[in-house]
Amino acid sequence: MAIDAFLGKWCLVSSEGFEEYMKELGVGMAMRKMGSMAKPDVYIIKDGDTITIKTESTFKTSQFSFKLGVEKPRCCPNVMGKILMVRFFFQTLVSLKDDGSLIQEQEWDGKKTTITRKLVDGQLVVECDMNGVKCVRVYQKA
């Protein structure tokens, strides 16, 4: 399956275990509550060999761009800590597997999380895992 099947706008239709996953990431309680209530839209865009995943909600908008199989550092606001002005850095690698799934691996400060995106029955299924704490979020194409 080519990356093109993932392209477009996706709307969240269900979410299980997201707050627990955010807690395992180290996200504070107030941010977890707001994040759990948000119903984000995800845009997956391709420009040449660069892919951008943009997540947009009334609570927060974020995006990152990558090239498949190329590890790169990312910087983002430290929403996990108390000081929002501080930024932290992590390595991210996104690969397209033979089964058609997109695997995103992120590492920082000795921690690691894996985000798997796959298409199942026309829906985008996003599975997040950190230390065995998992969440599943399902999106419908708009």
Q: What is the pLDDT of residues 94-123, one digit of tens each?
A: 999 999 999 999 887 788 999 999 999 999
pLDDT score recorded for residue 60: 83
Q: What is the CA radius of gyration of the chain?
A: 15
Comparing 84 with 97, the larger pLDDT belongs to 97
**Segment 22-45 mean pLDDT:** 92
Query: pLDDT tier at 82 (50, 70, 90 boundaries)?
Result: very low
Domain 3-136 coded CATH 2.40.128.20:
yes
Query: pLDDT tier at 80 (50, 70, 90 boundaries)?
Result: very low
pLDDT score recorded for residue 125: 99
Unique residue bearing structure tokens 């996706």: 10
CB 91 within 8 A of CB 107: yes
Q: What is the pTM of this model?
A: 0.87
Quick check: 41 pLDDT over 90? Answer: yes
State how far the Cα of 50 lies from the Cα of 65, in Å rounded to an integer.
Answer: 7
**CA-based nearest residue to 124, from 19, 28, 7:** 7
Find the helix or strand (DSSP H, E) in which 23 lies: helix 18-25
Q: How many CB atoms lie within 10 A of CB 78?
A: 14
State how far the Cα of 8 lies from the Cα of 84, in Å rounded to an integer.
Answer: 31
CB burial of 52-73 (b: ≥16 within 10 Å; e: otherwise) equals ebbbebeeeeeebebeeeeeee
Q: How many CB atoms lie within 10 A of CB 112?
A: 14
* Averaged pLDDT of the chain: 87
